[in-house]
Amino acid sequence: MKLGALPVAELTTRLARGLDVDTGPFVVRVETEIPALAEELRLLYGDFPVDAGGGLADFHVSVRRPAGPLGLRRWWRQQAMAYLDDARPFEPLPIIMAVPMLEWSINWCAATRANQYVMIHAAVLERDGRALVLPGVTGAGKSTLCASLSLRDWRLLSDEFALIRPADGLVDPWPRPISLKNASIDVIRRWAPDARLSMPVPNTNKGTVAHVRPPSLSVARAGEPAMPAWVVFPTFARDAAPHLSPLPRARAFFRLAACSFNYESLGLRGFTTLSRMIDGCDAYEFNYSSLDDARSLLGALPLP
Amino acid sequence: MIFDEGSGDTHLLDSLAAEVLRVLEDAPAEIPGVARRIGARLELVPDPDLTARVRERVERLVAAGLVEPLRP
């Protein structure tokens, strides 16, 4: 059953006990009693299957109101706190930030634990069976580019994580909601008026944040990995002419490793996996200022 | 590009440094000997300039922990 098929009342009850959401490579047990979060989950994760892990979940994420002395804080200040198994890596935040907090929490779980993969901080998209990897430093426009391409010609594999399998070099999809910040929110609304976005949350440490519901087809194909063909380092520069410049593989390797969550800790396995990946890819630096230009240039990349 | 399993470090080498490492993997050698062997592999006549460049690469490889001097 898909999460979106659960009526709101039932979803709310199930979330209070903990609901297993099959996000693709990981089953996430989400627990919350915050009603607004249930509604937003329905919007963002409506296409994902629930109860698919046979009662086993990879990550347990609970977002709830923190209890203070005598339970007072719970009602006095409307806050939310994330509990990840027994860890509490984040400070309590205003309750309006529950959605970004849930997303950051799931990211945190993967980044700190999923060492069966070489993990790169990158958006990944697929077309004709081959993957485009867009590693991103903050502000490079990775997520905006990822949202725009996945809402047109490309399949979304992930907005934040390239999950590279050491055994065969394929990238496993993790097509969760795409996180947009500040001006990008309206850019994507104009780009794809039918796209469904969560309610923008102002004043987070990243500014105003909203999430895009992943395309249904991408979620339906979450079990289909893809082989990387292109590694493109994007830079958004206002008024810049679009320009793709080839990047030597060795330099691309080091930049990719610098964007990895776990390259250092994987040792030789990380080196072997990444070097094999780079050997099979063409790498580029990409400057752009318009999503239309990006769409046409990236769509015309030749196979390596 | 090479990966040092001992330290977990990844290094980017230019082609001369890679040749130096290859030669020293075969057998330890003094710097002029390394230059001679590289010259022979690449069909170059060893000259003072090549020896100086080999010395500079060896020093960098030592600093990176990839090569160590043999104690007599």
Q: How far, in Å, CA of A158 to CA of A225, rounded?
A: 11
Split at pLDDT 50, 70, 90, the class of A141 is confident
Q: Do A253 and B5 touch (CB under 8 A)?
A: no
Q: What is the pLDDT of residues A168-226, one digit of tens each?
A: 999 999 999 999 999 999 999 999 999 999 999 999 988 999 999 999 999 999 999 99
Task: Tell me what pLDDT residue A89 has.
Answer: 81
**Closest chain A residue by Cα to residue B13:** A250
Q: Give A276→chain B minimum CA distance, Å.
A: 12
CA distance A62 to A79: 13
Question: Average pLDDT, whole number, for chain A?
Answer: 92
Nearest Cβ partner of A268 from B1, B5, B12?
B5
Structure tokens at A216: 């249904």
> How much is the pLDDT for A226?
98
The predicted pLDDT at position A181 comes to 95
Residues of chain A with C-beta less than 8 angstroms from the C-beta of B1: 250, 253, 275
pLDDT of residue A69: 58
A230 strand-pairing partners: A132, A282
Count chain A–chain B contacts defined by CB atoms under 8 A. Answer: 16
d(CA A304, CA B18): 26
The Cα-based distances of A188 to A132, A180, A291 in angstroms read 20, 9, 10
What is the CA angle A146-A184-A131, rounded to 5? Answer: 5
Across the range B36-62, mean pLDDT stands at 90
Taking 80 as the threshold, does the pLDDT of residue A92 lie above it? yes
- pLDDT tens-digit readout, A53-91: 788 999 999 998 876 655 555 544 578 888 777 778 888
β pairing state of A59-64 and A27-32: parallel
Please judge whether B10 and A271 are an interchain contact, meaning their C-beta atoms are less than 8 angstroms apart: yes
Which site among A253, A265, A271, A274 would you substitute to test the B interface, given the most B Cβ atoms closer than 10 Å to its Cβ? Answer: A271
Q: What pLDDT score does A94 carry?
A: 86
Sequence-separated (6 or more) residues with CB below 8 Å from residue A35: A12
The answer to whether residue A3 scores a pLDDT higher than 70 is: yes
Average pLDDT (A240-251) is 94
Predicted local confidence at residue A71, as pLDDT: 52
